[in-house]
Structure 1
């Protein structure tokens, strides 16, 4: 097996280097994990997740969970992962919902599509949640999750409100903490997430206003702010991101100058990549540590 490159070094030309979780733990001070598709699915912890986190602790290293999930506050997410048997606390969580704090929402009237925790992220950022209504007046529409509201009915209301805003010439911001399109619900089961809902809204706006339709500001991965936050929390550049989606986990980490390992058991398959796919530093067949 090829040796991993040094932390922070550019990825090698050619194919990514096959590696193991044990090699990454030995090489890096801090490991960053995507949540869904790497550590958990909708129904529980994924194979090898507990062993990997235990091995990190045994080696005296640290980890964070870097997730586009804006449907859960850190404490809520950590409690769910602990219920799945994973040793995760709120301090381990770095979520896209945290990025709303720097989105300039102070005093803004916000239509929030998401869970009660999504609404709390908006409140914590200074935004004023206003219930969805076709005749409502909003400064921002925030799609935080695909759950927590009647999906199609609420999208219809949001679309109507946005059409009316644009017809009046009233500016409105569109914010998307979670740009992911799909996520793993369980073994060989998949679902749409907030990014899919945002794409529906964008397509409908472009159909009516092809020259002036607003687009969502995408806050989470692959954009760099979430990785910059992770680096600050880690306090070191000796970090590696482990994810299952080329377009978000891998592209974002590499753009932020962070080494990245693509887990083969998730959404993206390296063998099926497109010609312009972002290239991970490593390929990881499993996150299970050696016994």
Structure 2
């Protein structure tokens, strides 16, 4: 039985269990002496030209902006830095992503917001998959939002058999019963699965919520040979999009990723050759010993900061 929530300790264990499915990260020693502890991003302002932020646990927790985050963004903007938000939240259409950050009080340009869902949508038409998509969708999803023929998966078993491929956008309305229907359908006839949010969990006001990546890895565990493609940290397509928007004028070693998760934010940044900053106070590792998590995982950020 899948759980509605996970503790951060259990989520860490699950990330470790599925990490072989992530982009290759060169093995390194867990040398904690290489990590610099900083008080805020102002300490490293001159080392980087482009700052890329995770959202949950870095800029906001649930529907609330983290204290001081808006001021820090404005400080970096006034210093002439390039700014991006790179979010794995895939429940929202892009217009809703823009609206969300406006409500939180941030002044990001549309071109500074990179969502895994938007990048995933760019690739749907290039997937070579013909036919209709069954979508694990949020409750207000409309098939007209996507450029491919699709429908929302519900409690009706017939829908799962009609789909030629599956797209996992959101866990908002997903249930254990629906997951079992999807597993059974794929076990009977394998079809491609694309995932627009690789996160296993996300920090909310009340704890960690189960996210699409958790369900995707459950499918991979239970359906041998299943073809699954991920868009979102730590997978390549979203980093490609950030670098595309930088037009090649910022070297990778002058780009830095800020995030609260070792297995998505820091992993992806390291694979890409970007700098990395682990934020510890608000998100995935809140209440844990971040140095112990780094030692166990071997995923070593360049910097640690309580809050940006």
**TM-score above 0.5:** yes
User: Larger helix proportion, structure 1 or 2?
Assistant: 2
- Structure 1 residue 220 corresponds to structure 2 residue 232: yes
Q: Say if 1:225 and 1:131 are closer, same or farther in 2 by CA, change over 3 A.
A: closer
Partners of 2:180 and 2:143 lie apart in 1 by 20
- Structure 1 residue 230 corresponds to structure 2 residue 242: yes
Residues 131-146 of structure 1 aligned to structure 2 (within 5 Å):
131-132=152-153, 133-135=156-158, 136-146=161-171
Q: Structure 2: which 5+ runs fail to align?
A: 1-28
Describe the superposition over 1:38-75 as per-residue Cα deviations: whole angstroms up to 9, x where unpaired. Answer: 00121311122111111112212221100111112332
Matching residue of 2:191: 172
CA shift at 1:283, angstroms?
1.1
CA shift at 1:119, angstroms?
5.3
Where 1:275 maps in the other structure, the secondary structure is helix
Partners of 2:131 and 2:144 lie apart in 1 by 14
Match of 2:300 among 274, 279, 285: 279
Partners of 1:106 and 1:214 lie apart in 2 by 15
Match of 1:267 among 256, 280, 284: 284
Q: Say if 1:117 and 1:22 are closer, same or farther in 2 by CA, change over 3 A.
A: farther
Match of 2:180 among 156, 168, 171: 156
Could you state the TM-score of these two structures normalised by the residue count of structure 2? 0.76
CA shift at 1:245, angstroms?
0.3
Where 2:72 maps in the other structure, the secondary structure is helix
CA shift at 1:118, angstroms?
8.6
Partners of 1:77 and 1:120 lie apart in 2 by 18
Q: Structure 1: which 5+ runs fail to align?
A: 1-10, 166-170, 206-211
CA shift at 1:234, angstroms?
2.5
Matching residue of 2:216: 198
* Aligned residues: CA RMSD: 2.6
CA shift at 1:129, angstroms?
0.6
Equivalences, count: 262
CA shift at 1:259, angstroms?
0.7
